[in-house]
Amino acid sequence: MRRKFWLLAAVASFVAVVSLQSASAMTRLEAATPGVTKGEIVLGGTFPLSGPVAGYAPIARGMEAYFKYINARKGKDGKRGVGGRSIVWKYYDDVYNPANAVQLANKLVLEDKVFAVVGTLGTENNQAIRPFLNQRKVPQLLVSTGASFWGLQYKQFPWTMGWQPDYISEGRAYGLWIAKNHPNAKIAVFFQNDDYGKDYVRGLKIGLGAKRSLIVSELSYEVTDTSYASQLARQKASGADTWVAITTAGTPTVRAFATAKALNWKPDTIVLNSVAATEAVMSAVVRSVGADFVNGTISTAYLKNPSSPKYANDATVKRYKTLLAQYGPDGADPNNAFFYYGFAKAYDMIKLLQASGKNPTRASLMAATTRMNWVNPYAIPGVKVKTSRSDRFPISQIKLIRFTSPSWTEFGSLIKGR
Amino acid sequence: MTAAVKGVLLAAAVALIILIPQRAGEFRLSQFTYVAIYFIALLGLNILVGYNGQISLGHGAFMGIGAYAAMIFILGREGLTATGANPPGWLLEHGMRPIFAIPLAGLVTGVIGYLFGLPALRLAGVSLALATFAVAVSLPLIAKHYDSVTGGGGGVSLPLPTTPFGWDISTPHWLYYEAWATAGILFLVAWLLVRGRVGRAWRSIRDGEVAAVSSGVSSAAYKTLAFGVSSAFAGVAGALFVIQVSYINPDTFPLTLSILLLVSAVLGGLGSLLGGIFGALLLVFLPIYSQDPPVLHFSFSKQAPSVVFGVFLILMVLVAPGGVAGLLRQVVQPIKIGLARRGSRPSRLAKEE
């Protein structure tokens, strides 16, 4: 056995050396533009379709429904799809794990040969795949995260671009509003201790400007904390009358409100960031602390709210509901804002493809991303989708909204984030 | 299995490993690189579980420790500062080549695993499983807490891998050969350990600890050694993993990875080193292709990849309770017996002629 083993090892290493040399000689020719053929444009992305944050999965399915509609309808040029090419939408489950996102981005680019990666969800996941996609010169567009660096680092990563208003602009809007409407407020900031939360706090301070000193308490929580009682007790003791809560959708938001209520602390003004302020979360908060406690809470929005009475007769929202019923997954709930978000994003992707010329290339698509200038009907009236060579934030206008159980109402005028 | 059958299997595996890069596209190649990485982790896990009878639900976390160690070795204080972290002064100033970081990461993880093995000694069975589970649960939290060296929740991007020393070979090919060469070396190490005195001691503890101790085997020494070696393997796997992914944050080594590793070790076959290859193949290909089955075009698969995954696992356990290696053994056994029978009756054969 022992002698056989060494013989085997010797043969194996010999073959290994030979194959190493022949392997290096292998080269492959790439097609002119991967993912674009006469009849198809292949797009891809990764999303958490299972696991703890699978609540975001409707984004991918909303995009799917919209692309199906585009493939079925006849456009202004009399052709279906985009100039006669139908959209093939490949999306995979990354379980919100960046390592999975990297493997799947490899699959999308190298095996599925996608034209561009669109809408991938999560700041970390997008960060993880960004170097690879930029090295391969594959567009990474309309990412589903509001970190500010998607719009800021375009010189370093020219193939990457964001979409939604970034967290700094949103924080700034709250700062501006407080400085103007409550110039003598005593502010307590409670935020999630990561890049996401810190971006918001940075924006808030920019908005407050000279009134920055109004902040009397600035405390954070870890995603893994199971109790916020000690932080919020200190915020209550600080005598703050304005509470800026920067949390993530789901448990942290509900817990923050429930803890404040349990401590008998009712700040006169509550500001809650938009990511946390989805309607599903708010109804859980109301169930937990009662409508009286939360009514009057301030947040921001940039898309129409498909479940708000204000838009019940809006042509776009009505069309969205029809299309989702026709092309969406069975039993899709049109009041789930993430389907709507997917529609809004897919709308801009189609516009981008239409703006990339008759035979789109990856370069022409990226060129189109620097001259976006249109109105997205899914956005709040007046919001423009606009970029330039030096402004890489497609949507940067937001509107303040106020909560009256069970839903949000817009107020005030549009705020330019940047 | 006879030595000859084992030899043939090993030769076939080596031949396949060498042939794959000639045929496979770049993505397929990267998948087989992951197979090598998981194979290394499963070798380590098999030493602990299959040969020493201890249970670990924390091997994903040990991979994570190796990955973080490798990341810190590769970037150094300089590189970490550039990513926005605030590393302490005692770290190495400059980073090193990934290829040197791999064994160092293995060493660091091995030492940590060995130290963990000391208190774990007092535990057995379910209690040990829970203790290792605690490692898997707490690693992401620890990584988030010490963000000055780990980059915290936001994670750290490593430079994309390149072929070192100016060798004339594409980077995906380099990563593939690097991973498989490491797997080959570690397979040899594991094989030598398992077949010799150490392996005998490990197995004797597994099969009857009291009997082993009364025969003069130091249970404490060998159990902690198994933990150390096993963790070192996981650490090397983690280092290769982070080089391949070139990004790390606490979510890259979730609890599910630890559980899946144990499941694949069982599916590959406990107590069979080569069985780890099958476990690794499952670990790499099943999650991706249960989302998008290549042959069967289920329309429900997009909705329920985990269902496909789960059904496959249950079927595997039903069909092959001894893992793939056990299944092979079942197939080979009758042939072996048949061969032996033929060999023992030469007279009858001679008559028929």
Write out pLDDT tens, residues A70-108. Answer: 999 998 889 999 999 999 999 999 988 999 999 999 999
Q: Which of B27, B34, B154 sits opposite A111 (nearest CB)?
A: B27
SS3 of residue A87 by DSSP: strand
Report d(CA A388, CA A161) in Å as an integer. Answer: 12
SS3 of residue A383 by DSSP: coil
In this prediction, residue A84 carries a pLDDT of 94
Name the token pair of A32: 């002119």
Report d(CA A28, CA B34) in Å as an integer. Answer: 22
**B263: distance to nearest CA of chain A, Å?**
19
For chain A, list the domains and their CATH numbers.
40-165+308-387 (3.40.50.2300), 167-301+402-416 (3.40.50.2300)
Radius of gyration, alpha carbons of chain B: 22
**Beta-bridge partner residues of A86:** A40
The alpha carbon of residue B197 and the mean position of all alpha carbons in its chain are separated, in whole angstroms, by 23
Strands (E), B103-221: 156-157
**Beta-bridge partner residues of A187:** A215, A242
In which band, very low, low, confident or very high, does the pLDDT at B307 lie, cut at 50, 70 and 90? confident
Distances (CA, A) of A355 to A113, A360, A364, A371, A395: 21, 9, 9, 9, 17
Q: What pTM was estimated for this model as a whole?
A: 0.85
Degrees (nearest 5) of the Cα angle A134, A137, A139? 85
In which band, very low, low, confident or very high, does the pLDDT at A20 lie, cut at 50, 70 and 90? very low
Report d(CA A399, CA A308) in Å as an integer. Answer: 15
In this prediction, residue B305 carries a pLDDT of 62
The answer to whether the bond into A329 is cis (omega within 30° of 0) is: no
In this prediction, residue B127 carries a pLDDT of 83
In this prediction, residue B350 carries a pLDDT of 46
Residue of B nearest to A27 (CA): B170
Contact B302 A49 (CB under 8 A): yes
A205 CB neighbour count, 10 Å cutoff: 18
A253 CB neighbour count, 10 Å cutoff: 24
SS3 of residue A112 by DSSP: coil
What are the backbone angles phi and psi of residue B297, rounded to the nearest 5°? -95, 70
User: Which residue of A2, A7, A88, A95 to mutate against B (max B Cβ within 10 Å)?
Assistant: A95
Q: What is the DSSP letter of A360?
A: -
How are strands ordered across the β-sheet holding A140-141?
Answer: A86-93, A40-47, A116-118, A140-141
In which band, very low, low, confident or very high, does the pLDDT at B351 lie, cut at 50, 70 and 90? very low
Q: Which of B14, B153, B252 sits opposite A99 (nearest CB)?
A: B252
In which band, very low, low, confident or very high, does the pLDDT at A390 lie, cut at 50, 70 and 90? very high
Q: Which helix (H) or strand (E) holds A392?
A: none
The tens digit of pLDDT for each residue in B248-258 reads 999 899 888 99
What are the backbone angles phi and psi of residue A48, rounded to the nearest 5°? -80, 95
pLDDT: which is higher, A4 or A323: A323
Report d(CA B256, CA A127) in Å as an integer. Answer: 22
Q: Which residues of B touch A26 (CB under 8 A)?
A: 22, 170
CB A115 within 8 A of CB A361: no
Q: List the one residue out of B141, B135, B140, B142 whose CA is nearest residue B58.
A: B135
Report d(CA A173, CA A397) in Å as an integer. Answer: 10
Q: Which of A22, A95, A106 sits opposite B30 (nearest CB)?
A: A106
pLDDT: which is higher, B171 or B3: B171
pLDDT: which is higher, B52 or A418: B52
The tens digit of pLDDT for each residue in A326-348 reads 999 998 999 888 999 999 999 99
The tens digit of pLDDT for each residue in A181-195 reads 999 999 999 999 888
Share of chain B above pLDDT 70, in %: 92
A135 touches chain B (CB under 8 A): yes
Q: Which of B145, B247, B303 sits opposite A98 (nearest CB)?
A: B247
Report d(CA A304, CA A380) in Å as an integer. Answer: 5
In this prediction, residue B337 carries a pLDDT of 76
A49 touches chain B (CB under 8 A): yes
Report d(CA B29, CA B33) in Å as an integer. Answer: 6
The tens digit of pLDDT for each residue in B200-214 reads 999 999 999 899 989
Report CA torsion sign: B170, B171, B172, B173. Answer: positive
A249 CB neighbour count, 10 Å cutoff: 20
- Give the domain ranges of chain B: 3-352
The tens digit of pLDDT for each residue in A155-168 reads 999 999 999 999 99
Q: What is the mean pLDDT of chain A?
A: 90
Per-residue pLDDT at A248 exceeds 60: yes
pLDDT: which is higher, B334 or B129: B129
In this prediction, residue B343 carries a pLDDT of 60
Report d(CA A411, CA A298) in Å as an integer. Answer: 10
In this prediction, residue B2 carries a pLDDT of 66
CB A114 within 8 A of CB A34: yes
In this prediction, residue A9 carries a pLDDT of 55
Contact A15 B15 (CB under 8 A): yes
What mean pLDDT comes out for the span B81-103? 86
The tens digit of pLDDT for each residue in B161-172 reads 888 888 888 899
In this prediction, residue B154 carries a pLDDT of 83
Query: Count of CB contacts below 8 A, A vs B?
Result: 129
